[in-house]
Chains A and B, each alone.
Chain A
C-alpha cells in the first residue's frame, strides 16, 4: 500500500515575461489501487503538475510538499523519484537516437531494481508485454521513440510502465492523438498494470473518452492551477455533457 500526497503545491516557471505561477496550491492524495482522473481545459496546469512531481528542471516549487509513503519526493533527484516508485508516461516522449528500445528497457529495469533482471525471465516478460500491446518484436531494435508514430510512442510508454512496475503512475494525456483502436490497447495495458500490481494512477486528460476504458474512482477538475471541484465518476459524465465553460466563467 503506497500513498502519494500532494499538499498546497505552488509551482512557478520562468517565461520571457518573467516568473509565472502555474500551480496555486494543489492538494491531492492518491493511494495504491486508486485511479484519479485530473481533467481540465488547456493551460490549466495539468502537465505542470505531472512534470513537477517527476522533477523536471524547468519548474520551481515555491511552496508545499509532495511525499511518497512519507518520503520527501521534492528532495529526490529525477532518477531517485523513479526508483522510489513514481512513473510519468509523457505526452510527448523524447527521441533518443541510436539507443535501442531493448537496451533502454534493460538499463531502466536494472536501475530501478538495483540489479540486472534474470535474462531468461526478462526476455519472456518483454516479449509478453509487447505482445499484449500489439507491438512488433522488431520494435526492440529501433531507437527509443525514433520515428515512432504517435500511437507507437504511447504504447512504448505503457510498455515501460508495465515492465518497471511503479507504485504510482502519472499518465499525462496518454489518450490525446490516439485513434480508438490504439486507445483501447493502451487502456487495456493500464488496467492490466493496475490489476497485477495494485498501481495508483493519476490520469491526466483533456477528453472524457478515455474514461470509458479506464474507470476512475475520483475525478478532479483542474482550473487555473488548482482543483476547482472533485467528485466521483458522475462528475466526468457531467463534464462530457457541459464541458469546462462553467468553471472558466467563474475563474
Chain B
C-alpha cells in the first residue's frame, strides 16, 4: 500500500512551499574544485536567505591564519584520532562539497582530522571533542568513520570565536550506529559556515543532533544519503536566535535505495528585533527508493516582535511505491492563552514564559541521549529565556 501523507502540510497553512526549484535537488553541483562555485551574491537558491556580506572572508580563496584548539576525551581501544594528508582526506570524504564555503574549507584546511571507530567496536561513553576558536579565519575538514557494526556517540562542541568554515564527512559502514551531536556555543561574534555530509551503509543508523545557540552567523547544511537498504536517519535540531543572530539550517535527505527511514525534527525559538532563523528541508525519494518512509517537521516559536523565521520544506517523490512521506512546518507567536492559563494558577509571567519555552523544547532535548549534554542544554535554554526577559523590558 502506498500512503503519501501530505495532510499535515496542507493543514498547516502557515508555511510557504517557497520557490519550487526549477531543477531536481539531485542535479545540485558538488565538487572539490572551489572555482565551480562562484562567490555567492545572495540571489542563488541555496544562499537566498543568508547574510552573504558577513560571509565574505569565508568565500575568499586564500589560506587561513587561525586554528581551533582541540580538547578530546580519552579515546578507548578501537578509536583513533589522526591527521590525514590532503589527497587521502579527499578520497575518504563520502561526498564532494556542495558549495563554495565547503569546497574552500577542504582546500585550505591542509588535510583532515579523522576520528575512526574500528569495526565491531562498541564505545559506551560519549567521545567528546571540544573545539575552541581563538579568533581569525579557520578552515576545517573532519572525517568521522564508523566501521561495520561499530557504535558510538560523538559530541563536538564549538566555543570561542572564529570565522570558521568546515566540511564534516560522516561515513557509516554497514550496520554501524552513530549518535552525532554538534553544539554551536560560539561567542556572539563568531561566523560559522559548515557542511555535514553523511553516507549510510546498509542497515546503519544515524542520529544527528544540531544545537545552535551562539554565534553571529551560523549556517549548517546537513546532507544524508542512503547507500544501502534498511538504514535509518534521525536528524534533530534546536536553535534559539536573539537579536543580531542569523541561524540557518539546511537539510537534504537523499533516498536513493529502497527501504530506508528518515525523520527530520527541527525546532527553534526567536527573540529580538533582528533575530533570523532559516530552515530548508529537502527530501528526495528517487525512483529506486521503494518502501521509503520519511517525515520532516520544523516548528518555530516567535517570542517577540520583529524576529523572522523562514521555513521551507521541499519533498520530491519519484516513485509511488513508498510507505509514507510527509512534512509539516509551523511558525507561531507566543501563545497568550497558555500564558493566561499558567498565570491564572498563580505562576508569574517570567516563570510561565520559562515553562512554555522549556516545554516547547523538552521532547527534542530528551532525544539527544547524552544526559550531561541534555542537562547543560536545559540550563542554557533558561539563560536564553532570561535574555528574552531583558529584551522585553527594553521594549
Residues of A that sit less than 8 Å from B by CB: 54-57, 77-79, 81-83, 87-88, 90, 93-99, 103-104, 107-108, 111-112, 143, 160, 164
Contact = CB atoms under 8 A, between A and B. Distances in A.
Interface of B: 335-338, 340-349, 351-352, 355-356, 358-363
B359 A160 contact: no
Contact of B342 (A87, A96, A97): A96
A108 B358 contact: no
A83 B356 CA distance: 20
Given A95-B338, A96-B356, A103-B355, 5 more contacts: A94-B340, A96-B341, A104-B345, A107-B347, A108-B342
Contacts of B362: 98-99
Nearest to A86: B344
A94 B337 contact: yes
B207 to A, nearest CB: 20
B351 A99 contact: no
Contact of A94 (B341, B347, B360): B341
Contacts of B338: 94-96
B344 A99 contact: no
A90 B341 CA distance: 9
Which 7 residue pairs spanning A and B have beta carbons closest together?
A98-B359, A98-B362, A82-B346, A108-B345, A111-B346, A99-B359, A78-B343
Nearest to B349: A79
Contact of A98 (B340, B341, B345, B361): B361
Contacts of A55: 344
B351 A104 contact: no
B344 A82 contact: yes
Contact of A164 (B336, B343, B345, B360): B345
Contacts of B343: 77-79, 82
Given A79-B349, A94-B337, A54 B344 contact: yes
A224 B355 CA distance: 38
A97 B345 CA distance: 17
A88 B359 contact: no
A143 B366 CA distance: 14
Nearest to B363: A98
A81 B345 CA distance: 9
A1 to B, nearest CB: 22
24 contacts: A57-B336, A57-B340, A78-B343, A81-B344, A83-B346, A87-B344, A90-B341, A94-B335, A94-B338, A96-B355, A97-B360, A98-B358, A98-B359, A98-B361, A98-B362, A99-B356, A104-B355, A107-B355, A108-B345, A108-B346, A108-B347, A112-B345, A160-B345, A164-B346
